[in-house]
Amino acid sequence: MAILEVKNISKSFDSLKVLKDISFNVDVGEVVAIIGPSGSGKSTLLRCINQLEKADGGEINVDGANMFRTENGKAVYAPSKTLRDIRLKIGLVFQNFNLFPHFSVTQNIIEAPVHVLKQSKAEAKSACNELLKKMGLETKGAAYPCELSGGQQQRVSIARALALKPKILFFDEPTSALDPELTGEILKVIKDLAKEKMTMVIVTHEMAFARDVANHVIFMDDGYIVEEGSPEEVFGNTRNERTKQFLQRFNDR
Amino acid sequence: MTFEEIKKVTQILIEFLPNTLKLFAWTLVLSIPVGVLVTMLKKCRFKPISWLTNLYILIMRGTPLMLQIIAIYYAVPLIIASAAKSGKTGGIYDLLTNLKNNENYMFIALVTAFVLNYAAYFAEIFRGGIEAIPKGQYEAASMLGMTKMQTFFRIILPQVTKRVIPATANEVIVLVKDTSLANVIAYAEITMKAKQQMNLYSSIAPLFIAGAFYFVLNAVVTVAFAVIEKKFDYYK
């Protein structure tokens, strides 16, 4: 069953067309990796799905609710109440973590459960402790983000997103701001989540990881999806010339 | 000057120190919230309001505070006088006449001038602080479903506060010294009293004593801000 339906999305910044005609579905429990060269529109696509940018046209449905559709050539968004409900069903992990620096790790994680979902502090804290344990950060609850390594900060930001129990979790290049040494710990967390059948959409430059963890790989170039399929199809039996070139560069490294 | 005379001058300055402190405290307490308001008006999406706010900041920062004090202090009686001449009466003029006849009129005019002036500076400091917060903080808050109010008061404002402390300390230190400008309309604060004593004793020493008062006040302000800054030191 598709929990996310993206149909014919287009998006321009002034005269620059960033997304031209993007359609794909994500099923419950699926892990989708979006790969492609810089400037191909991957991050913009993620930001449109997460309501951080407004799409110009197309349609997006999340968990059966319509986020926006196109009427008379214009994107018409759902009422703000619906948009908010949709937003709470999806989580986003940023490239630069975007933790709240003035909050401790625990405060970062319980902020939304307490102030948005109106959970009791005790309830939110016990859920927070569970998440910290899962992330291997059980001793770091009282620490401030600036006292943590990049890998630890990113794990906190994953925990913060998970605290709202999202139905889909999006990752925008989650390891790009990290040392190569630290990327492994993030990739392991994502793999563990995949084992628990968490639905995830991951924009990444880690090809080996995409092949390893994804059920479905989307290759984007110049605002289009040029190739998609199982990792075996996209990586093992590449049909598209542009994809071949791109993957060749990675294999050469 | 003899030691006895120095002691006497010091006592007189201590006696009038509350007037300096009163002007300082009222200005500080009022100009910070007014400054926040001015920042918000400047960032208003309705352009005419933003432009008017810019004009206000331009005038307040572009002209001497001493002139502003004189202008505001004399504006009210002059308006009343010209209204009386042309035979105009009514609500606004009655209001101004009441204000002028208030026993605290001089102090009210002073605080008005100081607050209007300092709010313009504070507004620019706060604007800089707000604009220095990375966009990612707003995006993270919105992804967590926080409302605009929650985002501002729980995420943005605490971080802005930390960032504006050093620049605010600068302004407050200047304010301590700027209270001396009130002597231009004969407000009985310590600089005016020191000038009187200088004439009385034909000695420059009273000015040095007044200088020492400002120096000590600013030492206290400096220490207070160092303590506040330290309180926010727990994160970067």
Q: Burial level of A54, CB count in 10 A (0-12/13-18/19+)?
A: exposed
Structure tokens at A77: 């968004």
Q: Burial level of B219, CB count in 10 A (0-12/13-18/19+)?
A: exposed
CB contact under 8 A, B140 and A98: yes
The pLDDT tens digits of the residues spanning A194-211 come to 999 999 999 998 888 899
**Interface-testing mutation among A85, A90, A100, A103, with chain B (most B C-beta atoms within 10 A):** A100
Task: Tell me what the mean pLDDT of segment B145-160 comes to.
Answer: 94
**Interface-testing mutation among B139, B142, B144, with chain A (most A C-beta atoms within 10 A):** B144
Q: Predicted confidence band at A253 (pLDDT cuts at 50, 70, 90)?
A: low
Domain span at B9: 3-36+64-231
C-alpha distances (whole Å) from A184 to each of A37, A240, A249, B161, B213 are: 22, 30, 21, 37, 62
Percent with pLDDT over 70 in chain B: 100
Residue B136: list chain A partners with CB under 8 A: 94, 96, 98
Please indicate if any CB of chain A lies within 8 Å of the CB of B145. Answer: yes
Q: Report ipTM for this prediction.
A: 0.92
The pLDDT tens digits of the residues spanning B78-126 come to 988 888 887 777 778 888 888 888 889 999 999 999 999 999 999 999 9
The pLDDT tens digits of the residues spanning A41-81 come to 999 999 999 999 999 999 999 999 999 999 988 899 999 99
DSSP letter, residue A253: -
Q: Are A109 and A132 in contact (CB under 8 A)?
A: yes
- The H-or-E segment that residue A171 falls in is strand A168-172
What spatial distance separates the first Cα and last Cα of chain A, rounded to whole Å? 38
Whether B136 is in a domain gets the answer yes
> Which sign does the torsion angle of CA A211, A213, A217, A220 carry?
negative
Instruction: Find, among A235, A239, A181, A205, the residue nearest to A42 by Cα.
Output: A205
Whether B160 is in a domain gets the answer yes
Whether B102 is in a domain gets the answer yes
Residue A252: what pLDDT?
65
- A74 strand-pairing partners: A71
The domain that holds B112 is classified in CATH as 1.10.3720.10
Task: Tell me what the mean pLDDT of segment A91-109 comes to.
Answer: 96
Please indicate if any CB of chain B lies within 8 Å of the CB of A115. Answer: yes
Q: d(Cα A126, Cα A120) in Å, to the nearest integer?
A: 10
Q: Predicted confidence band at A1 (pLDDT cuts at 50, 70, 90)?
A: confident
The domain that holds A135 is classified in CATH as 3.40.50.300
**Sheet-wide strand order for A2-13:** A16-27, A2-13, A57-62, A65-71, A74-77
- To the nearest 10 degrees (0 to 180), the angle between helices B47-62 and B3-42 is 160
Residue A182: what pLDDT?
86
Number of domains chain A contains: 1
**CB-CB neighbours of B26 under 10 Å:** 16
Number of domains chain B contains: 1
Domain span at A38: 2-252
